[in-house]
Chain A
Amino acid sequence: MADEAVALGLSGLSKTFPGTRALAGVDLDLRPGEIHALVGGNGSGKSTLIKILAGVYQADPGGVIEVAGRVAAAADQWSPRDAFAAGLRFVHQNPGIFLDLTVAENIAVGAGFPTGPAGSIRWRELRARTDALIERYHLRAAPDQPLRLLRPADRTMVAIARALQDRERNQHGILVLDEPTTSLPAADVDLLLDALRRYAAGGLTILYVSHRIDEVLSLADRVSVLRDGSLVGTVAAADTTEAGVVAMIVGRRLEAGRGRDRAVGAGRAVLEARGLSGGPVRGVDLTLREGEVLGLAGLLGAGQSELLRVLFGALPAASGELLVEGIARRFAGPADAMAAGIGYVPSERGVEALFPSMTVRENVSAGSVARYFRGLRLRHDEESRDVVAAMREFLIRAPSDVAPAFTLSGGNQQKLVLARWLRRRPRILLLDEPTQGVDVGSRQEIYTLLHRAAESGTAAIVVSSDFGELERLCHRVAVMRRGRLVAELRAPDIDEHRLTEIAHLSEEVA
C-alpha cells in the first residue's frame, strides 16, 4: 500500500451492532482513477461499510479513514460533513432524482439554485452550469429536458453529475455507487458501465458496490470481497474469474445439506406454470405439489416477488399457461386467484397487508367478511368467536380481538396476516419474506405454522433473501436469475452457500 498513491484508505474498520458484528477489521484501499468493486452476499457488510463511509453510522473506535493521503481521521469520529469535505460523493440504488423536473432543475436540487439579489433564480447561469456538466459527463440530454424523457441510464448519470458537480476536473473526487444497475434494463446497464469507464479514465475514483459478478468483472480494476463482515481478499479483475469470485463470496464451506429429509415426491400437482411471463418474469416453468414447501431464492430484483404477484393475479401475466389443480386459469385480479384457493402474504406488511387502523378481528376476516352476513346482518358474535379461536390457533398475542392492529408487535402483525390466509385453508399459499422484521420467537412460530399448514396439505411458495431460512423450511428451492428459473435444489441437498453461489453466477450451472 505504501508504494502506491491512495485515493481512499480504510484500515481496521469495524462495526458492532447489539448482538452482531457487521464489520470486523476491514482494510481497503482505492487508487486514484481506479474502479474498485465491492461484492458480497446478503448481510456480508457491504451496506454497513458504505454507511460508515458516508458518516451515517459511526464505526467502532480504532479504525482509520484516510482520503488522498491528506485527511486521516478516526473512523468513529467520521461525520457526513467530513465525508463531504473529503470529496466523497454517494449515489444510491434509489438515486433521488425527480422525473418531472428538468435536467437543470435536478442538478440544482440539493446543490442549490444560483440566485440573484432578490432571491430569484438565475436561469441562464444554471443552464450554463448544466451545459458544462452535460459535456463533462457525456450526458445525452439538454438542460431543459424533463428527466422522464431520458433513458434510465442517463437518469442515473444525471444523478452522478449532480453528486460530482463541485468537483473541478474530477480532482480528488471519489464516487461511491451502490447497486446502480439493479433497476436498469440490460441495454442501459452497458451504457452506464461505458460512461463509468470514461469517468475513471478522466481521473475519477469509483467504489462500485454490486452483486452482479459478471458486470463487476467487466468494469472494475480490482474486486474486494466481503463475507460475514470480514474482507476475504482483494484481487485484480483481470486475474480472476466469475467462479473464483463466487467461491470467495460463498467461502469454502460447501458441505452436504443439513436439512432433514423432507422429500415430498409423488403428491398431486396443485399448481403448474408453463412458460409464464409477466413484468420481469420470463418463461417460468414450475410444478408445485400438495403439501410441498417450495423456496424461491435469488438476488434482489431477480423477479421472485413479481413471480408470486403473477401467480396471485396482482400482476398481469403477459404469456404462458397456469394450471391450478389441473384446470387452466387466467386471473384478472387477486379475487380470481383467491377463488381458486390461492393466498398471498406480501413482503411489505405495513404497506400491503395490514389495515393498521382496524381491529385484529377486522384484519383477520378482511376479504372473507361475506361469510358472516346472514339474515341481512353481520354476525359479529360469530365472527368474534372465530377470530378468538384463530388467534389461539395461529399464536397471535393481542389484548383482545378488538385491539387496533397497529398496536401489535411486528411478529404478531405478521401472524395476523398469516392467520387471515391460513384459516381459509388455502390450497396454495404464496409468501414473500414471511419473517422480515419479525423477532426470533415469532420467526420460530411462523415456521411452525407453515409446517403445520404443509402437513395438512397446503402447498406453499416462499420467497426469502435469507437462504438459511429456505434451507430450513423448504422441500425444494428454485433459484431465479434475471426473471428466469435457473436451477433447483432438493432436500436434503439444499444448502445456503450453494444457493448463494448459484444466485451470483451468470451462466447456467449443471
Chain B
Amino acid sequence: MSVDQKPVGAAGEDRTQAAPEQEGADRSFGSRLGASAAVQWLERYSLLVLLIVIVAFFGFIWMQTASTFMQLANFQNIVRSQTVLAVLALGAIVPLVCGQFDLSIGNVAGMASVFTAAVFARWHVPLPVGIAIGIALGTLAGAVNGAVVTRLGVSSFIATLGSAAVITGIVNWYTQGLSIIQGIPAQLTVFGGGNWFGIPSPFYVVAVAALLVYYLLEHTPYGRNLHAVGSNVESARLVGLGIPRIVFLSFVVSGAAAGLGGVLLVADSGAGNPSVGSSFTLTALTAAFLGATSVKPGRFNVVGTLLAIFFLATAITGLTFAGVQDYINDLFTGFALVLAVGISVLLSRRRLGGSR
C-alpha cells in the first residue's frame, strides 16, 4: 500500500492499461494529456473568447457595422439593457445549483415592478420604502414557491410554472393591463438612465448582486450544501443536511433577486408595465445554462452567467446593427439555450466516458 504518485488523468486504479510498447504508450498518453488540457482551457474560457470574437467581428471586420458598433454609447446601451436580466439570472442560478427550476422569476419581477410603481403613484412613499416593498414582494413570492415545493412536494417545474401564471393574473387584475407611469420618483429614473464613471449606474447594482451570489455559493456552508443537494440528494440527506430548508431558501433568494430586478425595471423604464415580466424568464435561464458550460464547466456559476448575458446581448445587438430584424432575438436565444444544454450534456458524457 505505497502511496505512489499517479499522473494526472490516470486516477482510476482499476484502469490498469497494459502498455506493450512502452514508448508508443507514453507518446499517446502525452498527446492525450496535451489535447485534454487544451480542451479544458477552451471549455473554461469559451464564452470570453466568443465575446471577444463577436466584438471584434462587428467592430472591425464587418464593414457595415464597424463605424457605429465601436462607440462607447453602444456598449453603455448594451450594459444598461441587460441589468434587469443579469439580476434575474444571478438569482435563478441559486435554485438551479440544488437542482430546482424557478420558472417564475420573470413574472415575479414584473409583479414587483408594477407594485413598486403603484406604491409610489398611490401613496407617494419615500424611495427606500418603495424599493424595500418591491424586494419584499419578490421575496414573498419566492417563499411561496419554496413552500409549495418543499411542503407539498410539488416539482419545482410545475410549482413555479403555476405561480408564474397566478402572478400574471394578479398583475393584470390590478392594473387592468395598463402601465403605471405617474408618480415614479425622479431620483429612481435618473439613477436608471445615468452613468457613474462612464458605466451605467444600474450596473453597480448588478455587480453587488453578483458578489453576493458568488459569496453565497462559494464562501458559505449554505452554498456548499446547495451544491451537495444538487449533486446527490440521497447522499446529502445521509450526511445530515436538511434538504427542505436548503431548497426553500434557494427559492427565497431567487425571489428576492427577482424583486430587485423588478425595482431596476422601474428605474430603467420609468414605469410599471404589466406585460414585460414573463419575457425575462427564458433568457435568464438560457444565460444560466450557457454560463454553466464555461468558467467552471458543469457548474452554474456567477462569472459564466454574466459572460453569457453579455455574449448574447452583444451578438444580438451586432446582428440588429447589421440590419437583421427583431425576430433574431428569439431565434438566437432559443438556439443558444438548446446548444448550451446540448454541449454541457456532451461534455459531461465525455468526462464520464473518459474516466470509466
Q: Is the CB of B3 within 8 A of A334?
A: no
Instruction: Name the CB-closest residue of A to B7.
Output: A399
The size of the chain B interface, using a CB distance under 8 A, is 38
Q: How far is the CA of A399 from the CA of B9 in the complex (A)?
A: 7
Q: Is the CB of A409 within 8 A of B13?
A: yes
CB distance from A464 to the nearest CB of B (A): 19
Q: Is the CB of A409 within 8 A of B227?
A: no
Please name all residues of chain A whose beta carbon is closer than 8 Å to the beta carbon of B299 when the two chains form the complex.
Answer: 357
Please name all residues of chain B whose beta carbon is closer than 8 Å to the beta carbon of A407 when the two chains form the complex.
Answer: 11-12, 355
Residues 238-262 of B, flagged 1 when their CB comes within 8 A of A and 0 if not, give 1111100000000000000000000
Q: How far is the CA of A377 from the CA of B223 in the complex (A)?
A: 11
Q: Is the CB of B239 within 8 A of A362?
A: no
Please name all residues of chain B whose beta carbon is closer than 8 Å to the beta carbon of A357 when the two chains form the complex.
Answer: 231, 298-299
In the assembled complex, A108 has its CB within 8 A of some CB on chain B? no
Please name all residues of chain A whose beta carbon is closer than 8 Å to the beta carbon of B7 when the two chains form the complex.
Answer: 399
A5-13, A53-61, A196-204, A439-447: which lies at the interface: A439-447
Q: Is the CB of B8 within 8 A of A399?
A: yes
> Of B11, B215, B219, B238, which contacts A344 at CB under 8 A?
B238
Most buried by B among A395, A406, A411: A406
Please name all residues of chain B whose beta carbon is closer than 8 Å to the beta carbon of A408 when the two chains form the complex.
Answer: 11-12
Q: Is the CB of B1 within 8 A of A439?
A: no
Q: How far is the CA of A338 from the CA of B238 in the complex (A)?
A: 10
Q: How far is the CA of A412 from the CA of B7 in the complex (A)?
A: 16
Most buried by A among B14, B15, B242: B14
CB distance from B301 to the nearest CB of A (A): 13
In the assembled complex, B32 has its CB within 8 A of some CB on chain A? no
Q: How far is the CA of A397 from the CA of B14 in the complex (A)?
A: 12
Q: How far is the CA of A195 from the CA of B215 in the complex (A)?
A: 64
Q: How far is the CA of A352 from the CA of B237 in the complex (A)?
A: 9
Q: A357-B231, A369-B224, A406-B355 are in contact. Are A445 and B1 (CB under 8 A)?
A: yes
Q: Is the CB of A352 within 8 A of B224?
A: no
In the assembled complex, B225 has its CB within 8 A of some CB on chain A? yes
Most buried by A among B7, B10, B215, B220: B220
Q: Is the CB of B13 within 8 A of A355?
A: no
Q: A334-B238, A351-B234, A397-B13 are in contact. Are A362 and B1 (CB under 8 A)?
A: no
Residues 357-377 of A, flagged 1 when their CB comes within 8 A of B and 0 if not, give 110001001110110110001
CB distance from A356 to the nearest CB of B (A): 7
> Of A312, A362, A370, A444, which contacts B227 at CB under 8 A?
A362
Please name all residues of chain B whose beta carbon is closer than 8 Å to the beta carbon of A15 when the two chains form the complex.
Answer: none
Instruction: Name the CB-closest residue of A to B10.
Output: A399
SS of B interface (majority): loop
Q: Is the CB of A354 within 8 A of B232?
A: yes
The size of the chain A interface, using a CB distance under 8 A, is 48
Please name all residues of chain A whose beta carbon is closer than 8 Å to the beta carbon of B352 when the two chains form the complex.
Answer: 406
In the assembled complex, B235 has its CB within 8 A of some CB on chain A? yes
CB distance from A269 to the nearest CB of B (A): 24
In the assembled complex, B6 has its CB within 8 A of some CB on chain A? yes
Q: How far is the CA of A132 from the CA of B221 in the complex (A)?
A: 61
CB distance from A383 to the nearest CB of B (A): 10
Q: How far is the CA of A353 from the CA of B236 in the complex (A)?
A: 8
In the assembled complex, B218 has its CB within 8 A of some CB on chain A? yes
CB distance from B130 to the nearest CB of A (A): 30
Q: How far is the CA of A333 from the CA of B11 in the complex (A)?
A: 35
In the assembled complex, B228 has its CB within 8 A of some CB on chain A? yes
In the assembled complex, A97 has its CB within 8 A of some CB on chain B? no
CB distance from B39 to the nearest CB of A (A): 15
In the assembled complex, A264 has its CB within 8 A of some CB on chain B? no
Q: Is the CB of B224 within 8 A of A362?
A: yes
Q: How far is the CA of A335 from the CA of B246 in the complex (A)?
A: 14
The 3 lowest CB-CB distance pairs between A and B, nearest first, are A367-B239, A335-B240, A355-B231
Q: Footprint of A on B, CB under 8 Å? A: 1, 3-4, 6-15, 215, 218-221, 224-225, 227-228, 231-232, 234-242, 298-299, 351-352, 355
Can you identify 27 A-B contacts, CB atoms within 8 angstroms? A333-B237, A333-B240, A334-B237, A335-B240, A335-B241, A335-B242, A351-B232, A351-B235, A354-B232, A358-B231, A362-B227, A362-B228, A369-B221, A369-B225, A377-B219, A397-B13, A399-B6, A399-B10, A403-B11, A407-B11, A409-B11, A409-B13, A409-B15, A411-B14, A412-B13, A441-B1, A445-B1
Apart from the given pairs A378-B221, A441-B13, 6 other A-B contacts in the complex at a CB distance below 8 Å = A351-B234, A354-B235, A356-B231, A357-B298, A378-B224, A444-B1
Q: Footprint of B on A, CB under 8 Å? A: 312, 314, 333-335, 337-338, 344, 346, 351-358, 362, 365-367, 369-370, 372-373, 377-378, 392, 395, 397-400, 403-404, 406-412, 420, 439, 441, 444-445, 448
